[in-house]
């Protein structure tokens, strides 16, 4: 995946460069060094794909409202021990936990 795709996804979710770098497991400095048409490393591309899929699920749950999704990502969630979903997106386990909560919202299952 390309840096430009990472920027597009970050903009959709209202992510800062600091957020994006943490999710992609790279330093902000290295993120800034990448040009728009530079390919991301394999692990960063995999994380970006996880993020893309999670955001699409979130948009489905929140009726395509990107602003609501961006706010939800930064809000403390009881089902996540009052952590924000965004704070958990630095591990694949965290992605799974956040996706599970989206599934519960989607199917009206309250924890």
| 59-87 pLDDT, tens digit each | 999 999 999 999 999 999 999 999 999 99
Burial label for 102, CB within 10 Å (0-12, 13-18, 19+), is buried
Q: DSSP letter at 93?
A: H
Locate 18 and state its tokens: 């600091």
pLDDT less than 70: residues of the chain: 110-111
What pLDDT score does 109 carry?
Answer: 75
Question: Quick one: pLDDT at residue 110?
Answer: 59
User: Where are the chain's structural domains?
Assistant: 3-106
């Amino acid at each position: 995946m390309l840096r430009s795709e990472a920027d597009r996804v970050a903009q959709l979710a209202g992510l800062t460069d600091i957020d994006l770098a943490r999710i992609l497991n790279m330093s902000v400095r290295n993120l800034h060094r990448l040009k728009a048409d530079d390919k991301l490393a394999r692990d960063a591309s995999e994380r970006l794909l996880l993020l893309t899929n999670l955001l699409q699920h979130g948009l489905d749950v929140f009726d395509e409202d990107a602003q609501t999704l961006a706010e939800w990502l930064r809000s403390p969630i009881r089902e996540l021990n009052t952590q924000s979903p965004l704070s958990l997106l630095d591990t694949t386990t965290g992605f799974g936990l956040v996706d599970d909560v989206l599934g519960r919202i989607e199917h009206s299952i309250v924890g």
